[in-house]
Amino acid sequence: MPTIVFASPKGGVGKSTSAVILATQIAAKGASVTLIDADPNKPISRWASLPGVPETLTVIADVTEEGVIDAIEEAAARSAFVIVDLEGTASMMVGYAVSTADLVIVPTQGSALDAAEAVRAIRLVRNMEKATRGASIPAAILFTRTSAAIRPRSLAAIAAEFAEHGVPVIATQMHEREAFRAVFAYGGTLSDLDRGQVSNVDTALRNARAFAAEVIGMLPAAGAAAPEREVA
C-alpha cells in the first residue's frame, strides 16, 4: 500500500500539520490509514491523545532509527495508506524512511532560507535512489503557511526556480489557517471543529480536500484503496 513520507531538514514548516490534515482527510472517507509519528517532539502523538481521532486512523509512535523500516512495512501490510512524519533534521532515520516511500512531500515556507533547506531534502531523496539502486522515489515540494489572498513575488520566484530545476511542486498550497492550528488544540478533524469558536473552517476544509485529492492523484498505486474522487 502507498507510503507517503513528510520530510524536511528544517523544523517549523508545517510538516506535522500537513501530515495530520492529509491523514484525516483520507481516513474520513473510510480508508484505513496508519500515521507514524517519528518526530522526537511527538506533535502527532499529542494530537492523537485528544478525542476525535477517526476510527480508521491508527497512530504509531516511539519508532527507532533501527526499527523505522520494519514499522513502515508492518503498517503497509494492514493499512491502505501509510503516512510518516519525520523529524525536522537530516538523519539516518530520515534516509531509511525515504527509501520506502512511494511519495516524499517536502513542506517549505515561501522564503529563500526555507527553499534552500527544501532543496537539501530533495537531494537526500536523490541520494537514497543512488544508494539503494532501486526505482525512482517521487518527491514534490509543498508550500505551507502561505496567504490565500496575496502571492508575494518572492514565492513566485522560488516556485519558478524549482520548476527550472525540474523539482515538482504540489499546486495546492497549505494556506495559513486558524483551523489547521485548532485541530492540534481541540483534537479530531477539521469537520469536528466548532465553527462558533474557530473561523473559516469551511475554507480550510476546501483547502485540505484539494490537497488530499492532489496527493492521491500522484499515487498511481493507490488505485482501489481510495480513488481521487473519494477524497476530493
Residues 6+ apart with CB under 8 A from 211: 18, 21, 22, 25, 142, 170, 172, 174
pTM: 0.90
Domains and CATH numbers, the chain: 3-231 (3.40.50.300)
pLDDT digit string (tens) for 140-183?
A: 999 999 988 777 788 888 888 888 878 899 999 999 999 999 99
Rounded Cα distance between 90 and 121, Å, is: 8
Mean predicted confidence (pLDDT) in 29-39? 96
Cell of 3: 507510503
Residue 93: its H or E element: helix 92-99
Which pLDDT score is estimated for 12?
82
Mean predicted confidence (pLDDT) in 19-47? 96
Rounded Cα distance between 168 and 159, Å, is: 9
pLDDT digit string (tens) for 61-119?
A: 989 999 999 999 999 999 999 999 998 776 789 999 999 999 999 999 888 888 888 88
Which pLDDT score is estimated for 214?
97
Contacts 24+ apart (CB under 8 A), 110-117: 110/143, 110/146, 110/152, 110/154, 110/155, 110/158, 111/154, 111/158, 112/154, 112/158, 114/10, 114/13, 115/158, 115/161, 115/162, 117/8, 117/9, 117/10, 117/13
Rounded Cα distance between 191 and 206, Å, is: 11
First to last CA, the chain: 20
pLDDT digit string (tens) for 196-226?
A: 999 999 999 999 999 999 999 999 654 444 4
